[in-house]
Structure 1
Amino acid sequence: MTDSNRRSFVAATAAVGTLGVAGCLSTIDGWGDGGDGEGTGDHDDNDSESEPDDTREFHYHSADELPGETLVSFDDLDGWVTMLDAGDLDADEDDPYSGPQSASLTAAEGTEYAGIYTTRSGGEDLSDSTLSLAVRFADQEQLVLTLELFAPNSSRSVTLRRTLIGPTDRWTRVDFGTAGIDGEPDLSNVREIRLTARRRGATEGPIDCAIDDLRVASRPDRGKVMLLFDGTLESHHEIALEALSEYDFAGVEAVIPETVGNDGRLSLTQLDDLVEAGWDVAARPRTGAQNITDYSDTEQEGLIRQTNAWLENRGFEDGTASFLTPRNVMGPTTRDLVEEYHDRAFRYGGGTNGLPISDPYNLGFFSGNAGEDTKTYIDYAAAHGELAVLHFEEIGPNSMSELAFENLLSYIDDADVDVVTTADLDEYEP
């Protein structure tokens, strides 16, 4: 979004309304080596899966806007096999993300998941790398994508995962973060890669998922942690501010303008205090008990515009760069509007984000109040150069206790990570 787009609407705002996988082992070689089974594992082999991006047509991004290089283009599906009882794999020439076709994964109702895999006899070196994938899905409102890297076998593997809550029928990119490690994998020798798409939040209906342009990029040496505070709650000032200051950390406050100054919520003065302490703010429209997708297109735009206008009119214009998705649900219209009025968007993703970022409008967070699970994701971010965005609501009685919050900050301080705010993400975004 340009500065003029983000800032030109303030005067007009008053006129706008509100708003697990089973399968036979494959003998097919040729993942990333052109199908001859004799590849070296280098990404720059002279083959169809590793051609320089500037030789390909990208329908939704130019190659120079995306980090890294294409590892698998899905222009040729010969090296891919469907898992046992895990749906079907077909070429999809209708609206591919890049090149002449995408890969279509489908599974009928009653089939647990759609899954495919490919093998590489010579191994692929994915050490010090991050993976991202273009995805478009329909029929299901929520989807869980899982990548498994056998390095070199299933007992020495890395699992990457991402939860998507919309948008349906729209291409987006997933920057995969680590979700599990089995044994002691050697990522310089990846022999098999598996991809599954599963329903989330529903058990009925088919799975219909298109994938394209699996990319690999060099990851940073150090992981990043972001502390994201939602709800414009007073405890973020009264408890979190002082606790973070002890470690010289800064957070990000997602501001719901209509709540500022209300009982139990941040006052304008308290919000100023956060910013003076180095915190960033983000725009968070108020939708109450509804999803933003429950509003009409015009109403969604009105919510986004007036939230930005409130921030700008009170000196928090930098906060309009970032959007926190209300109730985590993003529809196609919401996505289009957020791209027009913001530079990035956060919503629930169930884990960490790979760095560098290929899609800043699909940044995932997870709960900062999940005990050992939260610490595990911090460890993954530290070990694999990923971004862990921790989401907090109330700090204090009947929620995350002050002691638990302080212990978590101490854990982060001891970890090999940098605590960042939204302003620090520019370095890792396209």
Structure 2
Amino acid sequence: MKRRTYLVTAAGAVALAGCAGSDTDSDDENEDDPNDDTPEDHGGDGPDDETGTFDDFEDLEYWFTKQGTMSADEDRSAVGSQSVKLEASMSDRGVMISRTFDSPQDFSEMVPGMAVASEVELNPIIQLSDDSGDRIEYRGRVDPDLPLIRYNFGVSKIVGDPTLSEITSIQITTWTGTEKERTFWCDDLYFVPRLETGTVLVQFDYGYETTYTEGYSVLEEYDVPATAFVNTDYVGNDDRMDLGQLEELHDDGWTIASQSATTADLTESDDPAAQIQSGVEWLEENGFEDGADYFAYPLGRFDEAAVDAVESHHDLGFANGYGVGGEITNTQLCPRVGNPDVDDAEQLLERTAEMNGLTTIYYTELDDDRLDSFEETMATLSEMESDGDLEVVLPSDVEEKYVF
């Protein structure tokens, strides 16, 4: 299989998030961008080619503030005795803390992630910068009112042509725009390995009939495996696949998995575990036991109760996030990108191949423009797989091979 050593460089490139409009932070970085400043030298060693926890924030002396404020919080932690509390006031455009290294560090085979908690939906950024100021940005999607837990981050932007084997500083930031306050907590800054080969999952949500009538023939032509997440109470309803169609997909190698019994928002349910358990039971009763281990959150919404219920009933849970990640560390919040247009999908696939990343793409109903985009994307994916640049897998492969 091919191993590429270069990056797609796209200064100011669009952030590829899990769904349109989900990013609550501003990407506008004007002339006041603190990245334009020369970093102070606060020293510290790099990762020494090791993965796992890199900084537990027990000692903040290596970090300095470039925007907002930073303080230790002994009342909240994921590892150790404290986390770092980051706050942006109404007068700040965001919050950023930075750490520089005594000598350039090699992050070329690693992907960062972090434990985060926030009062609002947040898309925190981890930036790795080289000596020239070129940088790569990784993002995670954080929902409010969850414990301080690890999130899987993925590539959202590349500025210039960063040399990942010679990183001189790391920044943690979020952009708020003007007249917005923001408070969030970070802990357990960690790194996970990249994959040996860029890897892609293809998924469909809500069991729409167009998955069978439109998507199936395209993927059959290209021999691409896929997963269909279904709301089990709706199987056979108008515009949803019936049991016979699901059985045909399953017999052809598809994974038939759960998206809860209904499409109800689990964060508003009095008993999300009952919704989730009902979906599992239906799959097991109808011959889809192999897919009962996997789940996608309806509407992309989750809270602590929903995540706990998914952990009790499933091995992997999928939620909106960012592609081009590394091995999965939080198995209940595996990130994925929804309904990308052709340009975004092409960039995702190229970066996934070139950076040996892990990317999950999902589609909802395949109507008109979305169908055209899907067909073009699958043609590109098939070509890249044939060339050995990408591998297409199912959730069972991720569970077996790519959990850190």
What is the TM-score of this pair, normalised by structure 1? Answer: 0.80
Matched-pair contact (CA < 8 Å) for 1:167–1:330: no
User: 2:280 corresponds to which residue?
Assistant: 308
Matched-pair contact (CA < 8 Å) for 2:324–2:351: no
Matched-pair contact (CA < 8 Å) for 1:132–1:176: yes
Separation in 2, partners of 1:70, 1:336:
23
User: 2:153 corresponds to which residue?
Assistant: 176
What are the superposed Cα offsets for residues 292-318 of structure 1, whole Å, 9 maximum, x if unpaired? Answer: 11111xx21211111111111111122
> Within the alignment, does 1:330 sit opposite 2:302 as a pair?
yes
Separation in 1, partners of 2:87, 2:275:
36
1:385/1:137 CA distance change after superposition, 3 Å: same
> Within the alignment, does 1:319 sit opposite 2:298 as a pair?
no
Matched-pair contact (CA < 8 Å) for 2:329–2:403: yes
Separation in 2, partners of 1:110, 1:292:
36
Of structures 1 and 2, the larger Rg is shown by 1
SS for the counterpart of 1:27 is: coil
User: 1:413 corresponds to which residue?
Assistant: 382
User: 1:70 corresponds to which residue?
Assistant: 53
What are the superposed Cα offsets for residues 130-175 of structure 1, whole Å, 9 maximum, x if unpaired? Answer: 212111222x1x1011111112332x221112222x2524122122
1:22 is aligned with what amino acid?
A: P
User: 1:56 corresponds to which residue?
Assistant: none
User: 1:119 corresponds to which residue?
Assistant: 100
Matched-pair contact (CA < 8 Å) for 1:153–1:191: no
User: 2:126 corresponds to which residue?
Assistant: 147
The worse-fitting range, judged by mean Cα deviation, of 302-311 and 93-102 is 93-102
SS for the counterpart of 2:247 is: helix
Correspondence list, 1:50-69, <5 A: 68-69=51-52
Equivalent residue for 1:210, pick from 162, 185, 189: 185
User: 1:160 corresponds to which residue?
Assistant: 138
2:89 is aligned with what amino acid?
A: A
Which 4+ runs in 1 deviate beyond 4 A? Answer: none
User: 1:343 corresponds to which residue?
Assistant: 315
User: 2:370 corresponds to which residue?
Assistant: 400
- Deviation of 1:177 (Å): 1.3
Correspondence list, 1:12-161, <5 A: 20=29, 21-22=33-34, 24-31=37-44, 33=45, 41=46, 43=48, 68-83=51-66, 86-109=67-90, 111-138=92-119, 140=120, 142-154=121-133, 156-161=134-139
Equivalent residue for 1:282, pick from 250, 257, 267: 257
Separation in 1, partners of 2:149, 2:175:
17
Identity rate, percent: 28
Separation in 2, partners of 1:190, 1:334:
38
- Deviation of 1:107 (Å): 1.9
Matched-pair contact (CA < 8 Å) for 1:167–1:335: no
Matched-pair contact (CA < 8 Å) for 1:136–1:170: yes
Separation in 2, partners of 1:90, 1:117:
13
1:369/1:189 CA distance change after superposition, 3 Å: closer
- Deviation of 1:287 (Å): 4.7
Matched-pair contact (CA < 8 Å) for 1:179–1:377: no
SS for the counterpart of 2:249 is: helix
Number of residue pairs the alignment of both structures matches = 367
- Deviation of 1:270 (Å): 0.4
User: 1:429 corresponds to which residue?
Assistant: 403
Matched-pair contact (CA < 8 Å) for 1:143–1:198: no
- Deviation of 1:25 (Å): 3.1
What are the superposed Cα offsets for residues 188-216 of structure 1, whole Å, 9 maximum, x if unpaired? Answer: 1101111113469xx87632211112122
CA RMSD across the alignment: 2.1
